[in-house]
Amino acid sequence: LTDEEITEKYGHWATIGKKGRKERNIITSLYLNPEELEERVNKLVKKYEKMEEEDLRYEMIECEDAEYLIVAYGSSARIAQKAVQLAREKGIKLGLLRPITLFPFPKKQLLKLSDQVKGILSMELNTGQMVDDVRLSVEHKVPVEHYGRSGGIIYTPEEILEVLEKRIIKDGSIRHNKTGEPSLL
């Protein structure tokens, strides 16, 4: 049945969906009073700001002299650590920023590293849930590429290094796309 057919046959669920229950279906915010809702939102903003100061957890590996950076969490970070080691053995100055928690996200640390590195590879075992956070954190100062695998396929350290070399390192050239964001040639 289409939405229209369902509505025609059964009516709108918010008005008839009680099915013998006394309580009615309510479609609204947590608070009905706008002033109370605003006060609640302001409290939550303060709570989140406090969390960003007190609960930020991350690890930086080989970032002191890094020219390139991988950002990865969870299982990806464990694999990326080996890729960092392999890159360093080849003379590539690669570092790893490992968010331990994704909220709060290490925005300030990434922004600072963006002044130092030439490019960032965001690695995830999914189709890209963190990459936009990385891009926003570095304010488009350096190219950020995503590499992910899904469906249970796990990448190898060698594969990561190959992707890094093809997508980030290349010849080191950077151009700007139509939106002004740095990207690789």
**Domain residue ranges of the chain, discontinuous segments joined by +:** 13-54, 58-184
CA-to-CA distance for 94 and 54, rounded, in angstroms? Answer: 28
Are the C-beta atoms of 61 and 98 separated by less than 8 Å? Answer: yes
**CA 90, 111, 127, 82 torsion: positive or negative?**
positive
Are the C-beta atoms of 159 and 147 separated by less than 8 Å? Answer: no
Query: What is the separation of C-alpha 122 from the centre of its chain, rounded to a whole number of angstroms?
Result: 8
For the chain of 185 residues, list the mean pLDDT of each consecutive stretch of 10: 71 62 65 80 94 94 98 96 97 97 95 97 95 96 95 95 92 45 44
pTM assigned to the model:
0.74
**Helix intervals (H) in 66-182:** 74-89, 107-114, 131-137, 157-164
* Amino acid at the residue 72: A
Which pLDDT value is given to residue 56?
94
Helix (H/G/I), strand (E/B), else coil: 54: helix
What letter would DSSP give residue 147? E
Which pLDDT value is given to residue 118?
96
Q: Is residue 144 classed exposed, middle or buried when 0-12, 13-18 and 19+ CB atoms within 10 A define those classes?
A: buried
CA-to-CA distance for 143 and 164, rounded, in angstroms? Answer: 12
58-184: CATH topology = Rossmann fold (3.40.50)
Q: Where are the beta strands (DSSP E) in 32-111?
A: 58-61, 68-72, 94-99
- Alpha carbons within 13 angstroms on the beta-carbon side of residue 132 total 3
